Structure 1
Amino acid sequence: MSQDQAAGLRQWADAQRMKQEQGGEELAEESLAPMTPVPASQAAPESELSPEVSSGAPQPIAPLAITPPAPLKPLWVIGPAGRGTLTRAQVKQRLGQWSTLGRKWAGSPEAWEIHVIDPDAPELARLTAQHARWALWISSDADAFAQMYRALRLAREHGGPQRLLALHEPNVRRQGLLSNLRAAAASYLATDLLLLAR
């Protein structure tokens, strides 16, 4: 390398170094300069500011995805004819008793949508065609057999279901009332009364 070339390179390097030093000084001067307020007419409109700057309040967090509750299972319960005393609460209580006894199908009483209907209701045939889950409320009165058989007969005469769950108290014995009612329903009314296995 000739001396002219070396001298030229040194001059170029010195020039570059001076430019950098001058640029650094300019930046340092800008950072040390006092901030002057911007007139309101020159300020950026509020719509251009970020949401965090435009409002002092924290921004809402997107809600977590919540799975909707499972739909309720409809259960239509035929009560004693003409008595009108059966309530949804009684049916839910009975389902709760069965759930406590380990009947998995009963699940939570709150998972059921209970409908109580009279055995001679005019809409019984239409409802039977639309819904699959039916039960017969069986009380433990002394004259329960006569009342329950009458309710089943009226339900069949009004187009009621041919298959129902026997919804009875846990302490009602299978031998006696339940088995006699089941046999009579099958023989005389072509109705299948489902009894829970012990």
Structure 2
Amino acid sequence: MTSKAPEWWTDIERVSQEVAERVEMSNLRTMKCALYATGDHEARFVDVEIDRGYEEKPRPVDLDINPWLHKSGIDDNQVIPIDRSTVTVTRFPKDSGTAIMPESYVIFYSREDEDYGSRNKINRAIEAIAGVKTRVWGNVLVCKFMPHEGSRLLPVEYADLKLIDCIVAAYAVDYGLDQREFE
């Protein structure tokens, strides 16, 4: 007996396939990022397209994050206001005066107060890593960059995941990714 894959899994697989096809057809580059999907229980690696013209030294702002943050996926033309839907992490814990990291991270997330169409689901992956009930809506995407090299992107690697989990959990619980006011 075969069971049907959960909807969130097939959506991730569908978007991954669509991104791969678009990258191949258009000769684009990608960057490996960490995705915390609403129905998952941990982060997974995904390839995120780099906008054309920024292939040599891509920065976080050069990533096409739309397919990963919107329920309608790759075909969505919605503009994400990244100045209000991102958190840049250059030190961790946030309040530490000297714990500046050699590599930094950007957390991209869906804001529930933006008009993204239908309501996002609670992010269960973040609840799982935070160990507490949170109210983070929609998918969360994390990229890595070098702050002292023009914000040049680096691929997220398996060795980064424990630190990224800690950062995302802290930001979900203490620093504003939690959006209880939109319940």
TM surpasses 0.5: no
Q: Which has the higher contact order (CA 8 A, sep 6+)?
A: 2
More strand by percentage: 2
Q: Which structure: larger Rg?
A: 1
- Structure (1/2) with the larger helix percentage: 1
TM-score (norm 1): 0.25
